[in-house]
Amino acid sequence: AGRALQYTNRLHDFLYGLGFDEASGNFQEDNLGNGGAGGDRVQVYVDYNANGSSACNANFGTPPDGQNPTMRLFVGRTSCGQLNTHRGMNGDTVAHEYSHGLSHRLVGGGDLGGGVQTGALGEGWSDAVATTMWNDPVYGEYSNGSATGIRRFAYNNSPLTYADLCDDGTCSVHQDGEIWASTMWDVRSALVGAHGSATGKQRHEQLMVDGMKLTPSTPDFLDARDGILAADRANYGSANQCLLWGAFAARGMGASATSPSQREVHPATDYPASCRPTADAGGPYTTEEGADVRLDASGSTSPGGGGSYAWDFDGDGAYDDATGASPLFDRVGQDGTYTVGLRVGNAAGSSTDTATVTVTNVAPAISFTVAGPREEGGRLMATGTVTDPGWLDPLTATIDPGDGKPVPLGGKLENGRPDATLSFSKELVFGDNGTFTVKVCGSDDDTSTCRDAEITVANVDPTAAIDTSGAVELAGGRTIVVHAGKERTFDARVSDPGSDDETMTWAWGDGTPATSTTSLVNPPDPDPARSPSVQPRDVTDAQGHTYDKPCLYGVSFTARDDDGGTASDRVPVIVQGNAHLSLLADVWYVKYLTGDLTGLGKERLDCYVKTVQHASAVFSETVDVSTREKAADTLFLALLDPKRAFDRQLLAAWLNFANGSFEAGEKVDTDGDLKADTPFLEAVQQAEKVRLDPDTTRKELAAQAKILTCINVPLV
């Protein structure tokens, strides 16, 4: 009895706070002047008829305001499927029964009325008050210890809908009341989800109580629904309308549901149009290629909350490219104007909107380097990239090496985020020295960008080489041998990696004027300061010349390009006399001793020793014959000294060569049989090897002297 008293008083205070007060017809002995009729405290009977046949039940009698209601709480019995419990100990039962009095006093102005749905509402409201008050979706588990209590389902896991009213044609106020109690728990859950546990619970309980006050007599479920919706409009400015509609529609009490009679229902799960979302895609938006833009659908509405946002970026009608109210639009790989679609949906329906995104073009960027030898004819490599944040743009490029004639650049094009990239490499060859502006231009399908790099190309000197293919190898080097008075054609080659005019000059070394010619790279005009072409030079020049006097000369060939670069080559030239017969060593001795004033003359004799010194390894390294006197001394007869005897005959042989008696390849007699058998130069150079060998014996040296003596004997 004490616990029942506690529960009853607590319910009085709980519901009083929700507006079930004196003026509303609450149960109170003294109304304290606050309106309504007093003297109607609740009379509670616990363990009612404990010894009688009634058990497993409770009831509440609600007379008009001012008359005492009666709550009878029976006991539980295993014989009726429950535990042996006292109903007064069961808070669910006390709250349920007390709430029958609540609905009777509030609905229809105190006239609840009767009917299948009205009765079910009474039971449902009572379960709803009990479950929310105790914050437990299971009703009556104290009575039977079941996980679902004394109802078929826990109210947070109930499948019942309006369509289950009078299921199978059987109407039951308790079972049909479970439909309404399930709906009320859904309302409670929705409000808690929207406003938090404390506020959501309080609003649910307030709307239930105030909804009863706004519900007409003999209501059906839809009337009770409308009462709660009206209470929300009055209490909260319609803030929870669509949220409430969501709970009702889910249980079949949607906007178009009807109930022609207490037993006939036509469920519906729709929402009123006012709960449907409105889509606002925002915009218009503007961004650059490569820069994602944040979309803003914050202007959209979803009155019932829980709106979903789906976007169509590619215009295919499928809203499957992004979600959320502010996604990034990432289709910015190419400039243009794009239409994006937004669909906002909630349980009430969906709405669509479009916006435009203008992606502006960004000019491509260029990066390149030029590496390699920066000189005429050098092969340089221009390597770089053209990049564009518009990664879908087609990219092309050209390179102008400085001649004003751009050429296309090939390369590898990659179209992928974050940039379109054209990688290129191009060989550059500059035909002339100077400073060149290399320009690379890159283009997308809208704009172009160019970048310059200055390249300073150095002049390269030409190379020059006299043709010595007919020359002979002597001690003084490879030497051209000609005869006095006979014209000889001299050949030379000039190479130059630059596209230059080449001036070629022959200096003969005999006091005669030099011979010059110019080869133009682009005749007939001289090459300008910066040649317009790439034409490496490979030029040959052939000039004839006649030396009048026998002697040792040096012919020089010089090439000069039009930028001042030079190269030269020099080759010794032995000009022989034209003697037909060789002279003996004794004869040459007399000539050098006397100066041969009536014969060859001093000048020629001096030239001959110069020739000998150039041609002979012995007379350039070991024995000095640089003057006529020294030559005469070498030619003096010396019978007892093998070296002097050898040197005497060797000098005579070389003098005969200088005088023109022997050609370098002419065969001579080396064994005294008066028959030519060995080329002159071969025989003489072999003899010199013996002379210069420190291990040579006197006998070997004498043998070579004999050979040289034979060579010097004139053959007639």
Q: Are residues 472 and 517 in the same domain?
A: yes
Structure confidence at residue 81 (pLDDT)? 62
CATH of the domain at 67: 1.10.390.10
How many other C-beta atoms can be found within 10 angstroms of the C-beta atom of residue 412? Answer: 10
Residues 299 and 314 occupy one common structural domain: yes
Domain shared by 342 and 425, yes or no: no
Tell me the CA distances in angstroms from 521 to 13, 428, 458, 499, 503, one per residue in order. Answer: 117, 20, 18, 6, 11
Q: Which residue has the tokens 């012919």?
A: 555
Q: Which domain holds residue 427?
A: 365-456
- Give Cα 520 distance to the centre of its chain: 52
> What pLDDT does 51 receive?
66
Secondary structure string (H, E, C) spanning 430-457: CCCCEEEEEEEEEECCCCEEEEEEEEEE
Q: Please give the distance of CA 243 from its chain centroid, rounded to a whole number.
A: 48
Of 257, 261, 272, which Cα lies nearest the Cα of 163? 257
Domain final position from 311, 341, 360? 360
Domain of 334: which CATH number? 2.60.40.10
Please check whether residues 103 and 188 belong to one and the same domain.
yes
Contact 397, 407 (CB under 8 A): no
Q: Are residues 96 and 200 in the same domain?
A: yes
What's the rounded Cα separation, in Å, for the pair 710 and 713? 5
Going by C-beta distance under 8 Å and a sequence separation of 6 or more, which residues neighbour residue 132? 184, 185, 188, 201, 204, 205, 208
pLDDT at position 78: 65
Q: Are 357 and 337 in contact (CB under 8 A)?
A: yes
Residues 6+ apart with CB under 8 A from 110: 25, 64, 65, 104
Instruction: Tell me how far CA of residue 401 lies from CA of 79, 528, 640, in angstroms.
Output: 109, 17, 80
The residue type of 241 is: Q
Phi, psi of 73, rounded to the nearest 5 degrees: -115, 105
Let me know whether 407 and 298 are in one domain. Answer: no
**How many folded domains does the chain comprise?**
5
Does the annotation mark 178 as catalytic?
no
Helix (H) or strand (E) holding 287: strand 285-288
Give the tens place of pLDDT for each residue, 537-573.
999 999 999 999 999 999 999 999 999 999 999 999 9
Determine the length of the chain. Answer: 716
Within this chain, do residues 369 and 350 fall inside the same structural domain, yes or no? Answer: no
| Whole-number pLDDT of residue 146 | 86
CA contacts within 13 A on the Cβ side of 686:
13
- pLDDT the model gives residue 46: 87
Residues 54 and 115 reside in one and the same domain: yes
For CA atoms 582, 586, 587, 589, give the dihedral sign.
Answer: positive
Q: Are residues 146 and 228 in the same domain?
A: yes
| The domain boundary residue, chosen from 337, 360, 383 | 360
- Give the model's pLDDT for residue 54: 66
* Same-domain status, 436 and 481: no
Distances (CA, A) of 578 to 102, 575, 581, 600, 658: 155, 10, 9, 12, 9
> 633-637 contacts: CB < 8 A, separation 24 or more?
635/585, 635/586, 635/588, 635/589, 635/592, 635/593, 636/589, 637/586, 637/589
Residues of the chain with pLDDT under 70: 50-56, 76-88, 716
Check 22, 97, 123, 289 and give the catalytic one. Answer: 97
pLDDT at 55: 64
User: Does residue 232 share a domain with residue 168?
Assistant: yes
Extract the tokens encoding 388: 């564009």
Q: Clarify whether residues 343 and 481 are in a common domain.
A: no
**Start-end of H helices in 518-600:** 585-594
> Can you tell me the distance from the alpha carbon of 312 to that of 427, in angstroms, rounded to the nearest whole number?
48
Q: Residue 86: its pLDDT value, please?
A: 65
Res 76: pLDDT: 65
How many Cβ atoms sit within 10 Å of the Cβ of residue 675? 11
> Which residues partner with 482 through β-bridges?
575
Q: Which of 314, 333, 360 is the last residue of a domain?
A: 360
Q: What is the pLDDT of residue 4?
A: 84
